[in-house]
Amino acid sequence: MPARHIRTAGAPDVEGDFGALAIAQCDGCGHVVNAAFRSESAEHLYEVHPSTNAPVHESMLRGLESIAANILGTPTSPQRILEIGCGVGALARLLARNAACVHLIEPNLSAADAKFGNDRISFLPGFFPAATTGERYDLVVCRQVLEHVETPLAFLKAIREHVAPGGRAYVEVPSADYIIRHASLTDFHYLHVQYFTDAVLRAMFARAGFEVTRFDSIKDGHDYGYHLIPAAPRETPWPGRANVPADLPLRITERLAAGRTRLAGLDGPLALYGACAYAQAFMGVYPDLCSAPLILDDTESYDGHEAYSRLGRLAVRKPTPEMLAELRHVVISAWLHDSAIAARLAALGYTGSVLSLRSDNLAGTSGHPPSLFA
């Protein structure tokens, strides 16, 4: 699989640009991991990775504002906040509106020069917990990070150590229950080392010394959000192998074959939309069918980059009406935002077919395009 979702255009292939997926389940606890992830590759991958998750659609901005309000709640006084893995700092700017201070930890070197536009925001470059100053916080936020960590239980214990007395934490992860329910094959990609079901993660929280005070199902169950307070560590039992149904490999294989058949039947010029992890997964499983000359994306900082597979390179381009007029098919790889992207395509005058990498029952309904895997 490609190990990065994009890289500098024209860059030669190097060993760190690709990684293996070997999705395995523990016979004891039932947890699912990529057993082939190479820990020695992690530091380089994250330090040189282009910044991701910049909000480029109004729907993404509204979503972030909702997340910030949900995390903050109604504090009685300004809080000291630590955000682990801040990306471009979009959430931090919202959290800082009502905070005494927000400290950001991010290993990505491209974020080091970011101008966050708020003197209450401080940037701490590096990996958690090594990059911390030893302070404790009223609120520790860890969104979409734990799945990238090789030792998640130790990581959660470190988060607990950084929560001040009376403080709390918020942890958000992609849901392996969603992957299981919908056989969502593009949710498997190299940078995700861990795949958490709710049952495994709750046992992990208990063992790390947290109590779950509130649970959020996000993006139609694709993500889980947990509001946590420190508690005495408890040796809660693991769910075991029954945590994942035995037929999941077969269902993933069937989904993969359906997508291959659909792709092979598409005639005329095709492009992907969304230079993201789902495109990365798509190019890993269908390198021979990914003949698109480009991948569309609205992120300004992606200019001069490319998505890639073993057999091809896709230049990242911001869509224009002229560009879309040359296309017959668009496959939306950023499928969590497929309804907003489909509307944007229509606004730009695109009249060709639109498919999505979405695998759930929303595909083909309420503005969501049909699934490539149907």
Residue 324: how many other CB atoms lie within 10 Å: 18
- Report the alpha-carbon distance of residue 170 to residue 214 in Å, rounded: 10
> Tell me, what's the pLDDT at 238?
96
What single-letter DSSP state applies at residue 220? T
| Domain CATH number, residue 255 | 3.40.50.720
On whether residue 255 sits in a domain, the answer given is yes
> Tell me, what's the pLDDT at 348?
97
- Report the alpha-carbon distance of residue 22 to residue 20 in Å, rounded: 6
The amino acid at residue 167 is: G
Domain end residue (candidates: 192, 223, 243)? 243
What single-letter DSSP state applies at residue 237? P
Same domain for 172 and 291, yes or no, is no
> Tell me, what's the pLDDT at 255?
96
pLDDT in tens, 66-114: 888 888 887 777 899 999 987 777 888 888 888 899 999 988 766 655 5
On whether residue 371 sits in a domain, the answer given is no
Residues of the chain short of pLDDT 50, as ranges, are none
Same domain for 215 and 269, yes or no, is no
| Domain CATH number, residue 192 | 3.40.50.150
pLDDT in tens, 132-187: 888 999 999 999 999 999 999 999 999 999 999 999 999 999 999 999 999 999 99
Domain that holds residue 342: 247-356
Exposed / middle / buried, residue 260 (Cβ in 10 Å: 0-12, 13-18, 19+): middle
Same domain for 255 and 238, yes or no, is no
Q: Comparing C-alpha atoms, which of 63, 3, 9 is closest to residue 295?
A: 9
Same domain for 225 and 263, yes or no, is no
Q: Which long-range contacts (CB under 8 A, 24 or more apart) does 59-67 make?
A: 59/337, 59/340, 60/337, 60/340, 64/90, 64/91, 64/94, 65/94, 67/91, 67/143, 67/218
Residue 264: how many other CB atoms lie within 10 Å: 11
Same domain for 103 and 121, yes or no, is yes
Same domain for 122 and 146, yes or no, is yes
Q: How many domains does the structure of the chain reveal?
A: 2
